[in-house]
Amino acid sequence: MTGERALPYLLLAPSLLFLALLFLWPLAEAFLVAFSGPGGQWSLVNFREMAEDLNFADAVRNTLLLVAVVVPIQLALALGLGVLLGSLDRGRDGFLYIWTIPLGISDLAAGILWLAMLSERGYLNSLLAALGLVEGPVLWLSYETPLALFLAVVVAEVWRATAIVLVILVAGMQLIPKEYYEAAEVFGAGAFQRFRRITLPLLKPSIQTALILRTILAFEVFAVVVVLGGRDLPVLAGEAFAWQYDYRNAGVASAYAVLILTVSLAATWLYLRLLRVREESLA
């Protein structure tokens, strides 16, 4: 039965070959390009050029700040919505569908959508004017108002990408046996106690997964920022794009890509350390 033994490998081979060609190879090549000088020799010149660029420090700071602000908000919001969903008597499917709509919306479209809200003659200013808080159109999305621009990106990212955290958490919540809650109620545990003592600990693997995935994606934040602020709010992926597309400098662009990968892996490692999950619950 050698045919039978070879079959799984034959079935895996095409996908493995594809992933090797389009994941492992470009990954290796990005490192080669990033770490090589003009003559092809080993060199840190690309990283030096990257670090000496005017936008570099801002891009690092903005990206880290965005991750630090956006991801916790998304986690808290998704936890709240997940618990809320469990407390509803009716209409769960409908609400869940509405709340997960942003899953299908690209970061570019989400950026454009919030541009319609926040532009000079947009809906936010109209609302503020109706409340008597502003006199006329106010410019929020400009390099002169970096804080407002930053907050705009935060709002757009929270709007767009909380849904993925929600779905991962709700999937996890569905695995928690109902009996645990019933038992807790019998012993007089209130809603908050049940959340803290049952939901949170049993949801840890899902929380870990959601945090890792969202953080990796947040380090790549790109189109939302470009639509709302252009390069007035530099971020790492935006700089990588600009160096590749506008300056035609693949070396520095790859250096940025390597940097993004490094911080993503570092964050993943950190989450795995901080939220240690026992092996058996990861199955």
Partner 1 sequence: MKPRRFLYLSLALLASVWVLVPIYLLAISAFGGPETINAWPKGLLPARISTATLAFFFAVRGVWDAILNSILVAALTMAMSILLGAPAGYALARFVFPGKDGYRLLVLLTRAFPIAILALPLTVRFIEIGIYDTVFAVALVHTALALPFAILVSSSLFMGVPKELEEAAWTLGCSRFQAFREVVWPLARPGIAATMIFAFVVSWNEVFAASVLTLRERTLTAFLLTSLNESPLHFRFAGGLFLIVPALVFIFAVRRYLFSMWGIANR
Task: Tokens 């594809």: give the residue.
Answer: 18
Q: Single out the residue of 228, 243, 61 nearest to residue 151, CA to CA.
A: 228
Least Å from the CB of residue 270 to partner 1? 13
Selected from 62, 63, 74, 209, the binder of partner 1 by CB under 8 A is 209
Q: Single out the residue of 241, 236, 232 nearest to residue 216, CA to CA.
A: 236
Burial class (CB in 10 A: 0-12, 13-18, 19+), 147: exposed
157 binding partner 1? (CB under 8 A): no
Separation of alpha carbons 142 and 136, rounded Å: 16
Selected from 50, 66, 67, 168, the binder of partner 1 by CB under 8 A is 168
Applying CB under 8 A, the span of 66-74, 128-136, 180-188, 193-201 interacting with partner 1 comes to 128-136
Separation of alpha carbons 228 and 104, rounded Å: 20
Selected from 226, 233, 235, 271, the binder of partner 1 by CB under 8 A is 226
Selected from 50, 81, 152, 211, the binder of partner 1 by CB under 8 A is 81
Selected from 57, 72, 76, 123, the binder of partner 1 by CB under 8 A is 123
Q: Which is nearer to partner 1, 42 or 97 (CB)?
A: 97
What are the percentages of helix, strand and coil residues in the chain, rounded to 5?
75, 0, 20
β-pair partners for 42:
36
End-to-end CA distance of the chain: 31
Stretch 4-33 residues interacting with partner 1 (CB under 8 A) = 5, 7-9, 11-12, 14-16, 18-19, 22-23, 25-27, 29-30, 33
Selected from 65, 73, 117, 198, the binder of partner 1 by CB under 8 A is 117
141 binding partner 1? (CB under 8 A): no
253 binding partner 1? (CB under 8 A): yes
Least Å from the CB of residue 213 to partner 1? 6
Task: Tokens 């950026």: give the residue.
Answer: 111
Least Å from the CB of residue 95 to partner 1? 5
Selected from 69, 198, 250, 277, the binder of partner 1 by CB under 8 A is 250
Contact in structure between 100 and 162 (CB atoms under 8 Å): no
